[in-house]
């Protein structure tokens, strides 16, 4: 168990957003868990809530702020760090927790998770990594920073300088926070770690398998909308019900699963799972190496990225953000906007067939593109 001195050495910031303005019992549970491992808690609501935050949450150690729905979770963290804590007060704490509300759980108490993570000497850690051969980040839904002198100043400076707290573009936040912060911390030689050492599953599609095989202590809310297999959804709920103290009512009361005829706990526990229909596939990993990708970029006189989604954002943020090598982005459809990161967006035509192009899309979208326009000799495909 955590000692009192350890428990009182942390400050936590909890970022909240709900498109319907619903608080939800799952957030109350998450706040309770955060309070077990922190002395001071800031709850930051982006936008509005139609529900009242339970009075039991408001106490002398907890402050609640409402702000305009801008900047996503990174904007909320910046708001508190810069405008309400400040650099001097941040030095009081030994650790900083940044947590958002994009997951249900934890199914293993934060007390036990923190106890386990005491064994490592990392400067910062999270719950699990998102890993590819050309991409590696810690999932930003939960971060813990050990506030040694240099890291305090560097972390505060990064949020103040590099996080746009007023953006309405989620890709800005991916680039600046999830990708940008992790890449910058690695550049500064800070050491990272994760509670789950390796997770071979896509948590948005096979969240149940991540619970079963690697004992992931959370499940992403997006799993219940992205996964279209009833067996996997029921499997996840049954695993949580039988292997943890977490009430699946927190999930069922918040998430509409009526399309699968799941409305209450009885619908879950009485369902006879069809194991042969479970999707147990592991994540399809990129076949390129980082060395090969860097070599392709280095040898190209001019270069484009095909795509304008999350993979394009990852590739830009990691490999092009601080260079002038990229000429622009290419998309298949008519332009939905004129530029991305101040670079032009072009509609595909055969002019680009002889150009250097990195196809930065998901594996399935890449396959569809090749079927539609053929495979180009000079283009680089991630999959």
The pLDDT assigned to 364 comes to 85
CATH number at residue 170: 3.90.550.60
Mark whether 262 and 294 lie in a shared domain: no
pLDDT tens-digit readout, 59-89: 889 999 999 999 999 999 999 999 999 999 9
Mark whether 361 and 273 lie in a shared domain: no
In a domain, residue 62? The reply is yes
Residue 135 has pLDDT above 90, yes or no: no
- Domain containing 14 equals 4-194
Comparing CA positions, the residue from 332, 105, 101, 80 lying closest to residue 216 is 105
The pLDDT assigned to 96 comes to 98
Total number of domains constituting the chain: 3
The pLDDT assigned to 284 comes to 66
In a domain, residue 285? The reply is no
pLDDT tens-digit readout, 225-266: 999 999 999 999 999 999 999 999 999 999 999 999 999 999
Mark whether 31 and 119 lie in a shared domain: yes
Mark whether 28 and 154 lie in a shared domain: yes
Mark whether 127 and 179 lie in a shared domain: yes
In a domain, residue 200? The reply is no
Q: Which of 219, 249, 277 is the last residue of a domain?
A: 277
Neighbours of 161 (CB within 10 A): 7
Mark whether 55 and 189 lie in a shared domain: yes
| pLDDT band (50, 70, 90) for residue 4 | very low
Q: Which of 150, 171, 194 is the last residue of a domain?
A: 194
CATH number at residue 336: 3.40.50.720
Which residues are CB-neighbours of 58 under 8 A, at least 6 positions away?
A: 64
In a domain, residue 284? The reply is no
pLDDT tens-digit readout, 265-315: 999 999 999 999 999 988 766 778 888 999 999 999 889 999 988 889 889
Query: What span, in angstroms and rounded, lies between the C-alpha atoms of 180 and 186?
Result: 10
Mark whether 179 and 112 lie in a shared domain: yes
Query: What is the pTM for the complete model shown?
Result: 0.87
Comparing CA positions, the residue from 110, 51, 44, 31 lying closest to residue 81 is 44
In a domain, residue 265? The reply is yes
Mark whether 143 and 241 lie in a shared domain: no
Mark whether 184 and 298 lie in a shared domain: no
In a domain, residue 199? The reply is no
CA dihedral 128, 184, 174, 195 (to 10 degrees): 10
Judge whether 108 and 217 are in contact, CB under 8 Å.
yes
Mark whether 51 and 183 lie in a shared domain: yes
Q: Which of 250, 277, 304 is the last residue of a domain?
A: 277
In a domain, residue 282? The reply is no
Mark whether 263 and 115 lie in a shared domain: no
| pLDDT band (50, 70, 90) for residue 2 | low
Mark whether 163 and 295 lie in a shared domain: no
Judge whether 37 and 195 are in contact, CB under 8 Å.
no
Count how many Cα atoms sit within 13 Å of the Cα of residue 68 in the half-sphere of its side chain: 6
In a domain, residue 201? The reply is no
């Amino acid at each position: 168990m955590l000692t009192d001195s350890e428990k009182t050495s942390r400050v936590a910031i909890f970022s909240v957003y709900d498109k319907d303005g619903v608080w939800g019992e799952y957030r109350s549970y998450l706040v309770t868990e955060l309070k077990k491992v922190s002395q001071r808690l800031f709850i930051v609501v982006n936008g509005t809530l139609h529900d009242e935050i339970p009075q039991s949450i408001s106490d002398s150690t907890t402050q609640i702020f409402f702000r305009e729905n801008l900047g996503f979770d990174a904007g909320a963290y910046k708001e508190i760090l810069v405008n309400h804590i400040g650099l001097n007060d941040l030095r009081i704490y030994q650790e900083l927790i940044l947590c958002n509300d994009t997951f249900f759980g934890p199914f293993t108490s934060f007390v036990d998770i923190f106890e386990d993570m005491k064994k490592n000497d990392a400067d910062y850690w999270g719950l699990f990594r998102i890993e590819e051969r050309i991409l590696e980040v810690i999932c930003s839904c939960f971060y813990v920073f050990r506030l040694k002198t240099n890291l305090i100043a560097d972390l505060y400076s990064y949020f103040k300088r590099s996080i746009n707290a007023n953006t309405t573009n989620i890709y800005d936040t991916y680039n600046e926070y999830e990708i940008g912060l992790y890449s910058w911390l690695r550049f500064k030689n800070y050491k990272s770690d994760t509670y789950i050492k390796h997770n071979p599953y896509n948590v948005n599609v096979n969240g149940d398998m991540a619970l079963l095989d690697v004992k992931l202590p959370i499940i992403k809310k997006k799993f219940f909308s992205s996964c279209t297999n009833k067996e996997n959804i029921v499997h996840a709920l049954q695993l949580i019900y039988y292997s943890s103290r977490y009430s699946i009512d927190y999930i069922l009361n918040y998430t509409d699963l009526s399309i699968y005829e799941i409305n209450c706990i009885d619908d879950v526990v009485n369902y006879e799972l069809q194991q042969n229909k479970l999707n147990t596939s592991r994540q399809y990993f990129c076949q390129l190496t980082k060395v090969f990708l860097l070599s392709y970029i280095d040898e190209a006189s001019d270069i484009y990225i095909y795509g304008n989604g999350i993979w394009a954002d990852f590739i830009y943020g990691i490999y092009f953000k601080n260079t002038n090598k990229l000429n622009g982005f290419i998309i298949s459809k008519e332009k939905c906007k004129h530029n991305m990161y101040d670079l032009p967006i072009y509609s595909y035509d055969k002019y680009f067939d002889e150009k250097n192009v990195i196809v930065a899309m998901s594996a399935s979208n890449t396959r569809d593109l090749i079927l539609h326009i053929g495979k180009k000799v000079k283009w680089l495909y991630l999959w």
